[in-house]
Amino acid sequence: MNQTARIISIYAADTSGVCSALYEYGGMTVIHDASGCNSTYTTHDEPRWYDKKSMMFISGLTEKDAVMGNDDKFIDDLVIAANELKPAFIALCASPLPAMIGTDLDAIAYAVESETDIPSFCVKTNGMNSYIYGAGNAFLDLAKRFIDKNMSHKTDRLKVNLLGLTPLDFPKTEYVNSLKSFIKESGMELNASIGMETSLIDIQKIADADVNLILSSSGKLLADYLFEEYNIPFVKGVPYGIKFSEHIKECLYKAGAEKINIDATKSLREEGSTAILGESILSASLASAVLSDYGIKANVLETVGDGDFDVLKPFDLSCDDEKILEGELEKYECIIGDPLFKPICKNKKFIALPHEAFSGRCFTKNAPNMINRKIEIF
Amino acid sequence: MLKQISLNENKIPEGVRISEIDFDNPFYDGLHYNPPARGVWNIVHTGMLIPEAHQIYVCAQGCLRGVILTAAEMNRMENMSWVALREKDMWNGEMESRVIEGCSHIVDEMEKHPKCILVYLSCMHLFEGCDFKVIAAELEERYPDIDWVDCYMTPTMRKTFEPDVMMKKSLYSPIKKLDCDEKYIGLIGCDRATDKTSEIYSLLKEAGCKMWEITECKTYEDYLSLGKASLLISYLPVVGYASSDLTKRLGIAHLPMDLSYDKDEITANLNAFASSLGLDEKTVEKITDITKKEADDSMKRALETIGSSPIAIDASATPRPIGLALLLTEYGFNVKRVYTDAFNKKERNAFEKLCKLNPDIEIYPSMDPLMLNADLETKIGESEYLCIGQKSAYFCQTGKFVNIIEGGGMYGFDGIRHLGEMMTDAFLNEKDLKLTISYKGLECESCL
C-alpha cells in the first residue's frame, strides 16, 4: 500500500527544504505552523543550526486562530519580529494545517511588506511534498526577487554557478569546499555558490555566470529559469570520483561554449546488478562515477518520489513505496543506500551511504566525501 | 501586562526583572524560536516506554519526519511505522479508511503482531472531524489480539490539550482493572526513573509496599500490572488528565504530591502519602530528620564550592523553576536568571516571596525570536554561569550545568540533597555543551 512504511524512514519535507535553501541569505523564514516543524527542521534537517545563526521561526498557530482565521495575529507577530531583527527579506511557508484551511500566505506577505518595507514573499508548501519541491521553489523565488542583471564582470575564465546545494544533500561544508576546489582546479571561476557558503550577493550576481552546474534536483527549477530568462545553460551532475569529475569539467566547457544544456550522466550509464538508492541527480552521478572508475554497472532507484526524473534511464526506477521497493531490491546483488534502507535489503550486500535528507544527522559523521576524488565506499 | 523583550545595543536580548513582570501573562506569545537543546522528551520517547508496543504515525510528511527520526536516533525503528497523508486525502473523504488500511497493511507486514499499537493521529484529522471511534472499532475487530491505543500529535490544540498531557493519558489507556493488591502502588506521570533514595521509597519500604514504575517494566504484562495497584501517586504536573481517566476507569484513588522545593509542601506531601500507606507522621519525621539534614549539608557544601558564581535555571529542568530559584536564594546562592515562557500557577507563592527576596532576578523567555541572539552575550569557556537545565546552559554558553529535565527524578528532601551534589559536580566538571545538549531525549539510547 502506498504512502505507508513498516520500517524505513521518510524524506525531509518541503518546509525543511525552504528553510534549508534560504538559510544563509540573511532573511527571516517563518513556517506557519503550530509547533514541531521548527524543532524537526533544526534538529534533524539543519546541521548549521548550532554554529551559524539564521532567523528561522514558526508562527505558533493555535486552534483558536486557525478556526477564527485570525491572520492579523500572524501579520502582527511577523512585523514585531522583523522590526527588531531587521532581516534582508521575509519568506513564509505553510505546514499542513494552514494549507488545509486555505491561509493566503501571499496576501500575508504583501501585508507584511507594506508594513515593514522589507521584501516579503511566500514559498508554496503544504508539509506534504518533498524537500526538493520546497528547496527548489525557495531558490527560484529568492532569485526572482533579488537577481541584479546589471551585476557583471569580465574574466577569461568560465564563470560557473553551483546550484542545488543544501545540507540535506551535502551535509558537510567539506563538500562545498571540494566543489569550489574542483571549479578552481578546472581553470574556471566560481560565480556563485547557491545554498551553502553563500550570501545574498551570490543571488544578486547569479545571472553573470556562463554556465550552471546542477548538483541536485533542488537546483533544477532555478537552472531552468536562468536558461529561459538569461540563456545560461546548465550541466547536470555531481563531480564524484576521478573520471566522471573530468567528464563534468569537459561538459561545463562545452555547455558554456555552445550554450547547450548537458546531462553529464547520460552517456555514462549501463544497466547492472547494483542498485543505488536516493535522489536522482546524486544517484545517477554516482552510477556514472562508479562505471567510469571501476566498471561497476549500477541502476538508480530514485526513492524521494520527486525531483529530476530526466536523468533516469529506462532500466532505472522511481519508487517511494516501501513494499514495492523491497520487491525491486530482491533483483540486485549489491545495494548502495542510506543505512535506514538496510532493513528492507535483507541478505544483500549493503553499502551504507548516508543521506541527510533521509536519515538526518544519524550517520552524518560516516558520510564520505566522494567529490573530485577516489571513491572509497567499496 | 505582557512584556516584549528587547535587544540591547549589542543585539543581545535583555531580561525582565521579576518584580516588574506579570505572573499570569509574562511574555508576548509571538513567533517561536527553537534553541538547540534536545534533551526534552517528545511523544515518541514517551510512547516507547510501553514494552513490546509499536507506534504508527498517520500524518503529513513534515510532521512524520520529526517523529520517525526521533525513533531512528533511539535505534528503535523496528518499533516505528508511518502512514503519510497527501493533499488528496484532505478532500476525498477517506481519512478514516486511510488510517485503517494503512495500519492494517503495516500489521500484515509484521512477522509477529505486537501486543499493543499506539496510533497517532494529527491536527489534520481533528480539523476534518475524523471519526476516531470508527477507526478504533474497525482495527479492534480486525486485530483483536492487539491493544489499539489512540494517541494524538495535535500541537495546534496545545492551548487546550497539551500534547504531553494527551500523551500521558494515552500512555496508560491499555491498563485494565485487575484484582487489587493493597501493597502495590503505582507511580504515574514520570518518563524517567525516580531516585530510589527518595523518601517516597523509604516510606514504601516502611509500609511493606511495592512500587510500579513504567521505567522498570520489562514486559507488556509488567506494564499491565498497574491495574492491580491500590493507589496511584504522581509528582509531575502533566499527569492530571491521565490520573483522572485511570481513577474513573479503574476506581483507583490518586494522590498528587507535586514536586516542590518548599520544605512545608514537601513535608505535607510526604505526610499525605504516609497516611495513604497507613503510616503516621512520626514515621515521616524519622525519615526526614535524616534527609533534611543531608539536604541542608549538600546545599551548604555546594554553596562553599560555587560561591557567588551566577546561577541560571530554566523551565525544561524542573516544573518549579521559581520554587527552585527561591530555595537557592534562601541558601545564599547568587541566582541571576530564570528562563521560562510562562509560570506554573502553583508557583505563585514562591514567585511573590522571590520578588521580595531578590527583585532583580531576570526572567527571560526561551521561545521569543530575539532569543536567537542570546548565546552571543558570551563565549563558551568565558561564561561564569552555573546553569540548571540545558536551555539556560545554551543561552549562558556554559559547560557548567546540571543536565536534567522535568526534575531529574529527584524528589523531596532527598531530591534537594541530590540536586546539591549535582550542582557541585556540574561546577567542578565542565561538560561539552554542544555535544551534551545535542542528544535527543535525555537518557535515551542514541545513534549519534
Kindly list the structural domains of chain A, giving each domain's residue range(s) and its CATH number in brackets, ordered by start.
14-146 (3.40.50.1980), 159-263 (3.40.50.1980), 274-366 (3.40.50.1980)
Q: Are residues B403 and B303 in the same domain?
A: yes
Q: Are residues B301 and B347 in the same domain?
A: yes
**Average pLDDT of B164-186?**
95
pLDDT digits (tens, 9 = 90+) for A283-332: 999 999 999 999 999 999 999 999 999 999 999 999 999 999 999 999 99
CB–CB of B372 and A323 under 8 A?
A: no
Q: Are residues B312 and B380 in the same domain?
A: yes
CB–CB of B65 and A55 under 8 A?
A: no
Using CA coordinates, name the residue in chain B closest to A50: B36
Last residue in a domain, options B138, B171, B204: B171
Using CA coordinates, name the residue in chain B closest to A85: B370
CB–CB of A53 and B372 under 8 A?
A: yes
pLDDT of residue B24: 94
Q: Is residue B178 one of the residues assigned to a domain?
A: no
B56 in A contact zone (CB under 8 Å): no
In whole angstroms, what is the distance from residue B287 CA to residue B277 CA? 15
A43, A49, A62 ranked by CB distance to B156: nearest: A62
Q: Are strands A274-278 and A298-302 parallel, antiparallel or unpaired?
A: parallel
B29 pLDDT above the threshold of 80: yes
A10 in B contact zone (CB under 8 Å): yes
Does residue A195 come out as left (phi exceeding 0), alpha (psi in the -120 to 50 range) or beta? left
CA–CA min distance A276, chain B (Å): 21
Q: Give the strand order in the sheet containing B184-187.
A: B210-213, B184-187, B231-234, B253-256
Alpha helices in B186-235 (DSSP H): 199-206, 220-224
Q: Are residues B304 and B270 in the same domain?
A: no
**Residues 12..31 of B with a Cβ closer than 8 Å to A: which?**
28-31
Q: Is residue B365 one of the residues assigned to a domain?
A: yes
CA–CA min distance A102, chain B (Å): 12
B77 in A contact zone (CB under 8 Å): yes
Overall pTM > 0.90: yes
Nearest to B322 by CA among B351, B349, B345, B299: B351
Cβ atoms of residues A54 and A24 within 8 Å: yes
**Residues 79..138 of A with a Cβ closer than 8 Å to B: which?**
80-81, 84-85, 95-97, 99-101, 126-130
B359 pLDDT above the threshold of 60: yes
Q: Are residues B130 and B213 in the same domain?
A: no
B340 pLDDT above the threshold of 70: yes
CA–CA min distance B362, chain A (Å): 20
In whole angstroms, what is the distance from residue B54 CA to residue B118 CA? 6
**Average pLDDT of B426-435?**
97
Q: Are residues B260 and B329 in the same domain?
A: no
pLDDT digits (tens, 9 = 90+) for B35-69: 999 999 999 999 999 999 999 999 999 999 999 99
Q: Is residue B140 one of the residues assigned to a domain?
A: yes
Q: Which residues of chain A have pLDDT under 50?
A: none
A66 in B contact zone (CB under 8 Å): yes
Chain A environment of B160 (Cβ under 8 Å): 63
Q: Please give the grid coordinates belonging to residue A341.
A: 534502507
**Residues 426..445 of B with a Cβ closer than 8 Å to A: which?**
434, 438, 440
pLDDT of residue B2: 56
Last residue in a domain, options B171, B205, B232: B171
Last residue in a domain, options B115, B149, B171: B171
Q: Are residues B338 and B426 in the same domain?
A: yes
| Cα angle for residues A259, A260, A261 (degrees, 5° grid) | 130
pLDDT of residue B409: 97
Coil, strand or helix: which one is A325?
helix
B34, B106, B158 ranked by CB distance to A6: nearest: B106
CB atoms within 10 A of CB B131: 12
Q: Give kind and range of the element (H or E) at residue B116.
A: strand B116-122
CB–CB of A63 and B153 under 8 A?
A: no
B1 pLDDT above the threshold of 80: no
In whole angstroms, what is the distance from residue A300 CA to residue A322 CA? 16
- Burial of residue B272 (CB within 10 Å: 0-12, 13-18, 19+) is middle
pLDDT of residue B247: 95
In whole angstroms, what is the distance from residue B262 CA to residue A75 CA? 43
A303 in B contact zone (CB under 8 Å): no
CB–CB of B153 and A42 under 8 A?
A: no
Using CA coordinates, name the residue in chain A closest to B84: A3
Q: Are strands B116-122 and B80-85 parallel, antiparallel or unpaired?
A: unpaired
Q: Is residue B99 one of the residues assigned to a domain?
A: yes
Using CA coordinates, name the residue in chain B closest to A56: B33
pLDDT digits (tens, 9 = 90+) for B145-158: 999 999 988 888 77
Domain span at residue B75 reads 51-171
CB–CB of B127 and A40 under 8 A?
A: no
**Average pLDDT of B109-136?**
91
Chain B environment of A43 (Cβ under 8 Å): 36, 38, 66, 69, 440
CB–CB of A127 and B369 under 8 A?
A: no
pLDDT of residue B155: 81
CB–CB of B156 and A77 under 8 A?
A: no
Q: Is residue B420 one of the residues assigned to a domain?
A: yes
Nearest to A349 by CA among A283, A268, A274, A260: A274
Q: Are residues B300 and B432 in the same domain?
A: yes
A76, A97, A340 ranked by CB distance to B156: nearest: A97
CB–CB of A35 and B98 under 8 A?
A: no
Got the DSSP string for A17-34? HHHHHHTTTT-EEEEE-S
Q: Is residue B446 one of the residues assigned to a domain?
A: no
In whole angstroms, what is the distance from residue B34 CA to residue A44 CA? 13
Computed from CA positions of residues B211, B212, B214, B216, in that sequence, does the dihedral angle turn out positive or negative?
Answer: positive
CATH for B107: 3.40.50.1980
Q: Are residues B225 and B329 in the same domain?
A: no
Q: Are strands B6-7 and B13-14 parallel, antiparallel or unpaired?
A: antiparallel
Q: Please give the grid coordinates belonging to residue B411.
A: 524528589
Q: What does the buried/exposed string (b/e) look like for B349-368 if buried means 16 or more CB atoms within 10 Å of the residue's CB?
A: ebbebbbeebeebbbbbbbb
Q: Are residues B99 and B151 in the same domain?
A: yes
CB–CB of A128 and B62 under 8 A?
A: yes
In whole angstroms, what is the distance from residue A129 CA to residue B9 CA? 41
Q: Are residues B147 and B244 in the same domain?
A: no
Using CA coordinates, name the residue in chain A closest to B4: A80
Q: Are residues B162 and B78 in the same domain?
A: yes
| Cα angle for residues A100, B158, B23 (degrees, 5° grid) | 135
Q: Chain-wide mean pLDDT for chain B?
A: 94
pLDDT of residue A99: 87
A359 in B contact zone (CB under 8 Å): yes
CA–CA min distance B235, chain A (Å): 26
B293 pLDDT above the threshold of 70: yes
Does residue A241 come out as left (phi exceeding 0), alpha (psi in the -120 to 50 range) or beta? left
Q: Is residue B179 one of the residues assigned to a domain?
A: no
CB–CB of A1 and B124 under 8 A?
A: no
Using CA coordinates, name the residue in chain A closest to B60: A128
Chain A environment of B441 (Cβ under 8 Å): none
Got the DSSP string for A341-362? GGGGSTTSEEEE---HHHHTTT
Q: Please give the grid coordinates belonging to residue B294.
A: 543531608
Q: Is residue B287 one of the residues assigned to a domain?
A: no
**Average pLDDT of B179-200?**
96
Domain count, chain B: 3
pLDDT of residue B197: 97
B298 pLDDT above the threshold of 90: yes
Cβ atoms of residues B194 and B187 within 8 Å: yes
